[in-house]
Structures are given as C-alpha cells and as structure tokens.
C-alpha cells in the first residue's frame, strides 16, 4: 500500500517531503546523489581558489571570489537538503574523507593557466546548468528547492567564464593560444561530468522511475554539446573533437567516442589531482574544527539565554 501511494505521488508530480514515507532505496539513492553533489560543490572551490591570488585584475579577482563563495553556499544548501534524509553532515564529510563517497570527476584536473578559469566557468558551470536545471524538477522537495536557488547563481558563473574566454580569444596570439589550450584540456572532462552512457549507468533506471532524474546522462550530455558548439565558434575557438559534426537528420551534433578508461580511472580515485584534493579538504576540515566548536558553543549559549 505504502509503496503504491509513494509511486502515485511520484507519478502525479507531487513532491516527496522529508516526513513522507519513502522506500529505503529511494532514501539511500538520494543521500548518495545529493551528498556527492554537495561534495562536488565544496571540492570544486579548490581548482578555482588556486587562482584568486593571481587574478589579472581587481575586477577579475572580485568576480572569481564571488563565484567561489557561491560554490561554498551551494555545498551548504545541498548538505542541508541531504540532512533532511536523516544523515548528519559529520557522517557525510567522514564518508568523503574515507573515500566512501565521490565528487565530480571534473575537479580532479589541474588549473594551469588563467584561461582555465574561463574554461571552468564556461564549460563546467555550463554543464552544471544543463544538469541542474533538469534537477529542479526532481521528485524530492528539499533537493528541488535547493536546485532552484542554485540555478539562479549558475548563469552568472557560466557568463563570467565565457567572458574570460571571449576576451582572451580576441586578445594577443599568446592569449588566444592559452584559451584554446584550456578548451583542449577541459572539453572531454566536462562532458564526462554527465556520467557513464545510459547503457552503462547502474543508477539511471531507479533515478528515472522515481523521477530523481528527469533526463538521462546521455540526453543531458547531448543537450550540453548542442548548446556549446556554437558558443565556441562565435569566439573562434575549436572544440578538440575531429568527429564533431552536425547531423541534420538527428538535429543533434554527432561527437567522438569518449575515453571511458580515463573516466573510470578518475571516478575511482586515480585522476591527476584526486589525492591532492582530498588531502587539502582534510587539512582545511581539521584546521576549521575550532570554528565549528566556537559556533556550536555560541549557539548553545544563545539557546540557553532564550529558554
């Protein structure tokens, strides 16, 4: 009965709220996906944070600071949404530190030049917009509301990145070369953000049945490619895929085979920066313990003062 009522709520587009009955598998799937999404937001601050002290102008520095700060906030919204499923933030962070939880593969690539800030904003946040706009319609209420809030900020992230790439592409020959190099290094890892092909994706079946996801990994990946190819052409940069070609019949771009060995390598912890990202997170977490203790102490004092 409960299962039927639950599926009826899903099928009739009613949001599932924290106090609603839900199948244990639905809860587990959501905890997995939302926590990995939150971890991605927080770890994602590292590659960009690397360039805050080296931004080429005060304006560029202010924009990058604002963007990185937004990502921290996205992580907090998502951890809060995940906690409504009955798991503590401490436990989620521990799973990350114990390498029992993942975060997006894209953040395991190094940021070598300022143009990488442009490529990340344009491509990584561009991919995130495609994925997260779709997730605004996810069946779990707190996750859907977090997505709506996050999506409002993502367009600024994508535009500031595209502006950096456009400026450099029309700058000196060295700047254009730097922008093209960043596109060459970030293109394929960005389309890997959408996950394995649907035929290889163990979670997509339930994700679609329970409307956790509203579109599949391949659908979202195709939508991103279709939207992005024109943007590269406008600024005179070349997407590093010799098989990329508009297919008039399909009304989509055909594109080359992805390097799935690289994908699973990075997803399973053996990418260029996986070890460094985790070590940095652990160090920052340990160094921030006194802040968490002080905030909790203050909250306790406030609570006893009002009781």
Residue 177 or 227 with smaller CB distance to ligand 3HC: 227
Query: In this chain, which stretch among 16-24, 175-183, 187-195, 229-237 interacts with ligand 3HC, using CB under 6 A?
Result: 187-195
- Separation between Cα atoms, residue 268 and residue 156, nearest integer Å: 31
Which of 9, 46, 95, 131 binds ligand 3HC (CB under 6 A)? It is 131
Q: Tell me the two tokens of residue 297.
A: 């102490």
Which of 123, 128, 225, 235 binds ligand 3HC (CB under 6 A)? It is 128
Residue 175 or 201 with smaller CB distance to ligand 3HC: 201
Q: Tell me the two tokens of residue 13.
A: 């587009």
Phi and psi angles of residue 222, each rounded to the nearest 5 degrees, phi first = -65, -40
Residue 125 or 241 with smaller CB distance to ligand 3HC: 125
**Burial class of 109 by CB neighbour count within 10 A (0 to 12, 13 to 18, 19+):** buried
Residue 145 or 177 with smaller CB distance to ligand 3HC: 145
Which of 113, 201, 231, 265 binds ligand 3HC (CB under 6 A)? It is 201
Residues 217-246 that bind ligand 3HC (CB under 6 A): 217
Which of 124, 146, 182, 191 binds ligand 3HC (CB under 6 A)? It is 124
- Separation between Cα atoms, residue 75 and residue 34, nearest integer Å: 10
Q: Which of 304, 195, 277 is nearest to 203 (CA)?
A: 195
Which of 31, 44, 85, 164 binds ligand 3HC (CB under 6 A)? It is 44
Q: Which of 228, 220, 230, 154 is nearest to 192 (CA)?
A: 220
Specify whether the CB–CB gap between 228 and 234 falls below 8 A: no
Site size for ligand 3HC (CB under 6 A): 28
What's the min distance (Å) between Cβ of 300 and ligand 3HC? 33
Q: Tell me the two tokens of residue 200.
A: 């290889």
Q: What residues are paired with 140 via a beta bridge? A: 16
Residue 169 or 207 with smaller CB distance to ligand 3HC: 207
Specify whether the CB–CB gap between 137 and 206 falls below 8 A: no
280 binding ligand 3HC? (CB under 6 A) = no
192 binding ligand 3HC? (CB under 6 A) = yes
Residue 120 or 176 with smaller CB distance to ligand 3HC: 120
Q: Which residues contact 204 (CB under 8 A, 6 or more apart)?
A: 198, 213, 216, 217
Q: Dihedral of CA 56/57/58/61: which sign?
A: negative
Which of 102, 176, 185, 277 binds ligand 3HC (CB under 6 A)? It is 102
Which of 202, 251, 303, 306 binds ligand 3HC (CB under 6 A)? It is 202
Q: Dihedral of CA 171/175/180/184: which sign?
A: negative
Query: Which residues are at the interface with ligand 3HC (CB under 6 A)?
Result: 32-33, 36-37, 40-41, 44, 71, 74, 102, 104-105, 124-125, 128, 131, 192-196, 201-204, 207, 217, 267
């Amino acid at each position: 009965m409960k299962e039927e009522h639950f599926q009826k709520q899903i099928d009739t587009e009613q949001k599932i709220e924290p106090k609603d009955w839900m199948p244990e598998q639905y809860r587990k799937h959501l905890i997995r996906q939302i926590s990995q999404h939150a971890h991605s937001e927080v770890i994602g601050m590292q590659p960009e944070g690397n360039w805050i002290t080296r931004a080429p102008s005060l304006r560029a520095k202010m924009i990058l600071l604002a963007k990185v700060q937004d990502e921290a906030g996205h992580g907090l919204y998502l951890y809060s949404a995940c906690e409504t499923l009955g798991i503590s933030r401490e436990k989620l962070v521990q799973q990350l530190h114990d390498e029992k939880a993942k975060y997006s593969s894209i953040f395991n690539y190094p940021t070598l030049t300022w143009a990488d800030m442009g490529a990340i904003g344009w491509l990584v946040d561009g991919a995130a917009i495609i994925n997260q706009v779709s997730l605004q319609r996810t069946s779990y209420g707190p996750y859907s509301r977090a997505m709506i809030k996050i999506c409002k900020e993502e367009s600024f992230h994508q535009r500031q990145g595209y502006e950096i790439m456009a400026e450099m592409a029309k700058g000196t020959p060295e700047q254009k070369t730097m922008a093209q190099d960043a596109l060459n290094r970030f293109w394929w890892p960005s389309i890997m953000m959408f996950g394995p092909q649907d035929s290889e994706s163990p979670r997509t079946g339930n994700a679609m049945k329970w409307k956790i996801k509203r579109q599949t990994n391949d659908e979202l990946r195709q939508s991103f490619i279709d939207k992005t190819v024109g943007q590269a052409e406008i600024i005179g940069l070349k997407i590093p895929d010799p098989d990329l070609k508009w297919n008039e019949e399909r009304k989509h771009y055909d594109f080359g085979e992805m390097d799935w060995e690289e994908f699973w390598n990075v997803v399973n912890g053996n990418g260029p920066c996986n070890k460094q990202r985790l070590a940095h997170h652990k160090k920052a977490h340990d160094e921030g313990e006194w802040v968490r203790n002080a905030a909790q102490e203050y909250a306790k004092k406030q609570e006893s003062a009002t009781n």
